[in-house]
Amino acid sequence: MITRAKKLSVRDAAVKSTRGIRDGRRIVLEIPLIGEMVPAVLLLPTAKVRPPAALLLHGYGSRKEQMADSVGRTLLESGIASLSIDLPLHGERERSVELDAVRNPLVLVSQWRAALAECGAALEWMAEHDEVDGHRLAVVGYSMGSFIGVMVAARSDHAKALILAAGGDLPEGTPFTRLVRTVADPIRAVRRLEGRPLLMVHGTRDRTVRPEQAARLFEAAGEPKELRWYETGHWLPDAATRDAAVWLSERLQGPGARRQERR
C-alpha cells in the first residue's frame, strides 16, 4: 500500500516570532512546502485591505534575511507584502554537500528541481494566505534567484508580474549546459511570460551575470517589458531597489499608488 504525504496548508505554518516594524509586521516562520517545513520571513504592511505581495528569491550563497531586510522593507513602504524563503542548501538549510552541485550533474539537476517545486509551492501558499491578495502576486529574484524566478513565474498563473535583478540567460560554458536546460532554461521560460509585465535591472559592469546574458534574455521576452541599466557591478545600488518597488507598485496597485503614510 502506498502512503501519501499529508498535504500541508497555510494553517500548518509554524510562527517563530512576530514583531512590529516601521510600516507593518515582520514574522519569522516555517512554511510547509512539498512536505518540508522551510524557513521564511513574511513582511505584512499595515493595511485596511489585503495587500499585493511578492515572493523574494535570494542569490547564490545568500539567505532569506538579505532579501527581506532590503527589497522586502522597500516594498513594505509601498504597501506590498513579501515572503522570503531559504532556497535549498542556503541559509538555515545549508549543508556540506553544497559544492557537489557544481561538480555532480545529478545533484545539480535535483537541486534545481527542488528549488523550482518549492518556489511554486510558495506562490500557492501565498495565494491561500488570508492576509494578502492572492490575485496580486509577483516574483522578485536576485542573481540565482532570478534564474529560478523566471522559471517559477512561467509555470504559475499566480505570478502577475516579474522583476529580475542581476539575472539573464545561462552563461556560455555553464557546466552540463544541455542537462541544466532540460530543467532550467531561462530563454524558453521568459517566452511564456508574454502579456505579463517584466522588469529587469542590471549593472553595466556586472562580471558575475554579464550584461550580454541580460540582453539575451530581454530580447527573448515578449511585451510588456523594460530593462534598466545601472553603472555598477553585480551588487545593485539602493536606487535600483527603490525604482523596482515603484515599478511593482504601479503594476499591482495602479499608477496612482503611493508609499504608505508614515506613522
Is the pLDDT at 84 greater than 80? The verdict is yes
Q: How many angstroms separate the CA atoms of 76 and 97, rounded?
A: 35
Higher pLDDT, 115 or 57: 57
The pLDDT assigned to 35 comes to: 79
- pTM of the prediction? 0.89
The pLDDT assigned to 176 comes to: 53
For 161-207, write each residue's pLDDT tens digit.
999 999 999 876 555 566 667 777 899 999 999 999 999 999 999 99
Spell out a b/e string for 106-139, using b for 16 or more CB atoms within 10 Å of the CB, else e: ebbbebbebbbebbbbbbbbbbebebbbbebbbb
The pLDDT assigned to 260 comes to: 46
C-alpha cell at 164: 529580475
Mean pLDDT of 3-18: 67
How many other C-beta atoms are found inside a 10 Å radius of the C-beta of residue 249? 21
Is the pLDDT at 259 greater than 60? The verdict is no
Higher pLDDT, 263 or 111: 111
Is the pLDDT at 154 greater than 90? The verdict is yes
For 12-51, write each residue's pLDDT tens digit.
889 999 999 999 999 999 999 987 899 999 999 998 899 9
Q: Which residues pair with 84 in a beta bridge?
A: 41, 56
The pLDDT assigned to 109 comes to: 73
The pLDDT assigned to 179 comes to: 64
Mean pLDDT of 53-59: 97
Rounded (5°) CA angle 33-72-248: 100
The pLDDT assigned to 48 comes to: 84
Q: How many angstroms separate the CA atoms of 24 and 131, rounded?
A: 12
Domains of the chain: 11-252 (3.40.50.1820)
The pLDDT assigned to 36 comes to: 86
For 87-141, write each residue's pLDDT tens digit.
987 878 776 444 555 566 666 677 788 899 999 999 999 999 999 999 999 999 9
pLDDT band for 3, please (50, 70, 90 cuts): very low
pLDDT band for 238, please (50, 70, 90 cuts): very high
The pLDDT assigned to 6 comes to: 44
Q: How many angstroms separate the CA atoms of 244 and 221, rounded?
A: 18
Is the pLDDT at 69 greater than 80? The verdict is yes
Per the document, the length of the chain is 263
